[in-house]
Copies of this chain bind each other. A is one copy, B any other.
C-alpha cells in the first residue's frame, strides 16, 4: 500500500490569494482581461511558479501556456483552465483550476512521486471572451477548431487585433502543447447556486449544456395610448411579453431546460405611446440536444401563435448555437468514486457555462470537477469559494490525476 498523497492546504490557499493580487481591484476582485498588461503580469507569475516547480514550460502560437512534469512516457495527463478574467471578476473563476494543478504538482514533488506518464498544467488564452470573441478561443485553437490566423485577426471593441496584443505582451510562442493526452481534468468553481443549495461538496460534471441564442424583433404599430381602443392596437411590447411568458410556461416542465430573456427594449419607450417595435433576446439551454431542438421548435410555434393573435410580425436572428458536449463517462464515474472515497458528498450536474474542457473533449477523454460558489455568484468581485471547498476540489483533482498516470 502506498501512503495517500495529500495536498498542502495552506500552500494552496496562500497561492490563490497571492495570485489574486495581480490586477487586484480597489474594492476587491480582479481585472485581468485577456492580453492586457495585467494578463501579462499574471502569465509572467504563472510561468515563474511553473519553473520553480521544475516544470518544462512551453508556449504555443496562440499564447496557451503548458507546464509539464515529465513521467516515464511523454503521454500526458492534462489539467488546467485559464487565468484571464472578466472586467470585474473574482479570484477563482479559471485561476483556481490552474493553481490547483500547480498544487498537485507541488504535492507530488513533496512526495517524491515519479509517475509513469507525464502531467501537464495548462492555462488557455482568452477563455472569458470579454475582450475578444469567441470565448474559449485558446483551447478552441489548440483543439484545431479555429486557425491561428483567424484567431489572431479577431479584434477587440477598440479595433485592436488579438495577434497584435499577443505580440505586444510577448506571448506568441513557438512551442506547442502535448501531442498525446491520456485524459483531461478541469477543476472549476460552479458559478451557480446548485451545489450550495443542495449541500453538495463535489460537483461531478456530466457535460456542458447546449446553447441557443436568438434575437427577436417584434414589429407592431405605434399608437396613442389614450385614443386607440384596445381592439385597434398592434402592440409590439405586449406581444413580446406574451411570447416570453407563454414560452416560459410551455417549457416549464422540460427537464433541465433554461430560458432567459435578458435583453428587452421597446421603441419609442414612452409612457403614453403603444410600442411600435420590441427587440429582445432569448437564451435557451439544455444538456440534451433533442430537448434543446424541441425548445427551439416551441419558440418557432410560439412566434407563429403570437403573430396570429397580435397581428405583429416577428423576425429572428440566431446569435449563437452550440450543441451540448457530454464528458467521458469513465472519467465521470472515476471522479465521483474518488470524491466519495475522500468522504465528500457528491452530486452530478451539467455545466451551465462554457469551459475549456469542452474544447479539449475533441482531443481526449475529458471531465470536470466543480466546487460550490457562495450565493452562486461569479463574474463578480464578490465571487467566493470557501477554503474547505477549495481544498476538497484540489484533493479530488490530485486523486484523479494519480489514477490516470500509472
Q: Which residues of A contact B (CB under 8 A)?
A: 190-194, 197, 209, 211, 213, 223-230, 232, 235, 237-238, 241-242, 244-245, 248, 252, 257-266, 269-275, 281, 283, 285, 319, 351-354, 376, 378-379
Contact = CB atoms under 8 A, between A and B. Distances in A.
Given A224-B352, A244-B241, A193 B261 contact: no
Given A263-B266, A263-B270, A192 B245 contact: no
Contact of A270 (B194, B262, B272, B285): B262
Contact of A376 (B228, B244, B257): B228
A192 B224 contact: yes
Contact of A353 (B224, B265, B275): B224
Contacts of A263: 266, 269-271
Contacts of A269: 262-265
A274 B245 contact: no
A281 B237 CA distance: 12
A316 to B, nearest CB: 14
A378 B228 CA distance: 11
Given A232-B193, A263-B271, A271-B281, A258 B226 contact: yes
Contact of A225 (B227, B252, B274, B283): B283
Given A238-B248, A271-B319, A272-B283, A229 B192 contact: yes
Given A194-B229, A319-B271, A378-B224, A261 B283 contact: no
Given A237-B262, A238-B261, A241-B244, A191 B271 contact: no
B224 A379 contact: yes
A226 B238 contact: no
B271 A283 contact: yes
Contacts of A213: 271-272
A353 B262 contact: no
Contacts of A274: 260, 262
B262 A275 contact: yes
Nearest to A264: B266
B197 A226 contact: no
A262 B273 contact: yes
A130 to B, nearest CB: 12
B258 A262 contact: no
Given A237-B264, A238-B244, A272-B260, A232 B283 contact: no
